[in-house]
Amino acid sequence: MDVQSTTPETLSEPLPPLSITSKAVEMVKLTRAQEGMDASFGLRVAVMGGGCSGFQYALDFEQEGRETDNVMELDGLKVFVDPISARYLEGVTIDYVFGMSGAGFKFSNPRATGSCGCGSSFAV
Give the whole-angstrom CA distance, residue 90 versus residue 38: 28
Count CA atoms within 13 Å of residue 70 on its CB side: 14
Q: Which amino acid is at 36?
A: G
Burial profile 113-122: b = 16 or more Cβ within 10 angstroms, e = fewer: eebeeebbbb
Residue pair 89/43 in contact (Cβ under 8 Å)? The answer is: no
Give the whole-angstrom CA distance, residue 98 versus residue 116: 20
Strand 55-62 to strand 121-123: parallel, antiparallel, or no bridges (unpaired)? antiparallel
What the chain holds in terms of domains, given with CATH numbers, is: 3-123 (2.60.300.12)
| pTM for the whole structure | 0.77
List the chain pLDDT tens, one digit each, 124 residues. Answer: 555 544 444 444 455 579 999 999 999 999 999 999 999 999 999 998 876 667 888 999 999 999 999 999 999 999 999 999 998 899 999 999 988 878 899 888 887 776 655 555 545 5
94: closest CA among 15, 32, 20, 18? 20
